[in-house]
Amino acid sequence: MGTVIAVASGKGGTGKSSFCANIAVALCARGEKVLLIDTDAGLRSLDLILGMTNRVLFSYADVIEGNAGLKEAAVKHETVKNLRLLTAPATNRVFEREQIEALVQLAREHFTYTIIDCPAGMSDNVIDFCACADRAVVVSTPDHTSLRGGQKMGILMGEQGQQNVKIAVNRVRSSMINRGEAVNIDAAMDQAGLGLLGIVPEDKAIIACGNGGKLLAFEKKSPAWQAYFNIAGRIKGEKIRLLDSVPGRF
């Protein structure tokens, strides 16, 4: 039985979707079979980040409603063979939590890891997916407004029964932290009230790869990719220091 991880953020602009895409690829690089679900109806972006726009035909709504099976709807990535993407519907759809739980359970049965990219904010859609997941990650940037949103999201998840919640601090600039222009990591953990899963440094290659539909994993000397790869190891239960560099292969 696989593990389902919901990834959320208290506000937009944290780099959550890029985080989800790269963590999914990093888990595949570590030999796992991964399903990536985009649940941001109307504003889906994972197909763009992964360069899969022309291959997506069905959404998770089609699977829930029985219009397509999971194997048919979840599209294989051309390069990362053990990665599949199940995208969001083009328009917002409302489903009962029992329907979402059935979708999540189906994913558990077929994939070792399922990463759910939730919409930013605290909508009912986010809460239902987070409540049905086995674990949750809140993605935040090292600034007070983002961390406050992350704290509220963690509290809300706890109220819905999701107790296994970690924070990932994204787009970290050490120079800004050193100058006191951004929150340092210890303070970020204290402010959010969540345990730290990992930090991801600011990396221009993320934007370039996302715009071009290319994989960050193939960028040489990318500090962000090293961070994603390490976080994937921690998700699997490995003890890895924050900035250890570990090579990955597909």
The HSE-up count of residue 45 (CA atoms within 13 Å, CB side) is 18
Give me the residue spans of the domains in the chain. 3-235
> Sorting pLDDT into bands at 50, 70 and 90, what band is 74?
very high
Higher pLDDT, 2 or 143: 2
Given a cut of 90, is residue 113 above it in pLDDT? Answer: yes
The whole-angstrom separation of Cα 37 and Cα 84 is 9
pTM of the model: 0.90
Given a cut of 60, is residue 91 above it in pLDDT? Answer: yes
Give the pair of three-digit tokens for residue 200: 């991801």
Average pLDDT, the chain: 86
Per CATH, the number for 3-235 is 3.40.50.300
Q: Quick one: 54 exposed, middle or buried, by C-beta within 10 A (0-12, 13-18, 19+)? A: exposed
pLDDT tens digits, residue range 121-148? 877 778 899 999 999 999 998 888 888 8
> Sorting pLDDT into bands at 50, 70 and 90, what band is 73?
very high
The whole-angstrom separation of Cα 55 and Cα 240 is 36
The whole-angstrom separation of Cα 85 and Cα 51 is 11
In the DSSP assignment, the letter for residue 215 is -
pLDDT tens digits, residue range 190-222? 676 788 899 898 888 888 887 877 888 887 678
147, 191 Cβ separation under 8 angstroms = yes
